Amino acid sequence: MLAGRLGMDFFDTDARLCAGFECSVSEYVSRSGWAAFRQKEKELLVTLAGVTHAVISTGGGAVLHEAQWRRLRKNSLVVWLQADVATIRQRMKQDAATADQRPSLTGNGIGDEVGELLATRSPLYQEGSDMSVDTTALTPEEIVNVIEKEISSGFPK
């Protein structure tokens, strides 16, 4: 939605990885493991770091690739879409694709991992983002409006 409004290309890293794998993230991780997935994700971030005039949606673990994340940020405005644990769990429950696109990292239920992952990753998201938007009570259109308003006001200064 944001890319359309801004007249930019759109890249979803998980979708691109799945196209290359010819299977879902869950299937790929089951066959090859998380380390192999993270390596492919890292390689894609390097490629996308050279892309301009695009909106790039990364998976939640992309921020773990600190060097590649810094390269991506050199030419990008990074927006952290935040939500509380309960909201994330509810959104995952409502998303039919969650099971295919978000395999468990620890073997626990996906919903159980949300709090743990947020606690671990939040400092990285905070440090690695130019702005954040609390999406807890916002619709997708409202989120796009907030980001578009910040961009049109010259953010970041």
Q: What stretch of H or E contains 34?
A: helix 34-48
Does the residue 157 lie in any domain?
A: no
CATH of residue 57's domain is 3.40.50.300
Tell me the per-residue pLDDT of 56-105, one tens digit each, with 9 for 90 and over.
999 889 999 999 999 999 888 999 999 998 998 888 888 776 655 666 67
Answer for the pair 66, 47: CB distance below 8 angstroms, yes or no.
no
The per-type count for the chain, helices as H runs and strands as E runs, is 9, 4
- As a whole number, the mean pLDDT across the chain is 89
Query: Residue 39 is part of which domain span?
Result: 2-150
Structural domain total, the chain? 1
